[in-house]
């Protein structure tokens, strides 16, 4: 799972490294459109990840089914913190 996938740069690199079944999550529909153009994600989800309101916001179908989660550029500069990981 790629939290805050944006335009899909991390997903693209993961796919090039041989990873499959990559799910991207982002708040911006426009960013998700750009990510979809890269053809590296098996699923893209429009979702607002929020500091205080994130608990139970990740769709149940996405929970516990990923080997790892990336959050490149999302957890920095006090934008988000580790609380986004339920």
Domain boundaries, the chain: 2-84
The whole-number pLDDT of residue 3 equals 85
- The alpha carbon dihedral of 51, 56, 61, 64 has a sign of positive
CA separation for the pair 81, 14 (Å, rounded): 23
* Cα–Cα distance measured from residue 3 to residue 84, given in angstroms and rounded to the nearest whole number: 9
| pLDDT-derived band at 78, boundaries 50, 70, 90 | low
Tens of pLDDT, residue by residue over 11-36, are 999 999 999 999 998 889 999 999 99
Residues 6 or more apart whose CB falls under 8 angstroms from that of 11 comprise 2, 5, 22, 24, 35, 38, 40, 41
Considering 3-7, 30-34, 43-47, 72-76, the range whose residues carry the highest mean pLDDT is 30-34
| Whole-structure pTM value | 0.74
Alpha-carbon separation of residue 9 from 15, 38, 63, 68 (angstroms) = 10, 8, 23, 17
């Amino acid at each position: 799972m790629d939290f805050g996938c944006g335009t899909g740069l991390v997903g693209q690199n993961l796919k090039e490294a041989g990873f499959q079944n990559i799910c991207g999550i982002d708040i911006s529909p426009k960013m998700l459109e750009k990510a979809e153009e890269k053809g590296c994600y098996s699923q893209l989800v429009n979702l607002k990840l929020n500091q205080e309101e994130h608990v139970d916001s990740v769709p149940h179908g996405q929970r516990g089914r990923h080997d790892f989660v990336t959050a490149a550029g999302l957890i920095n500069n006090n934008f988000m913190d580790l609380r986004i990981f339920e």
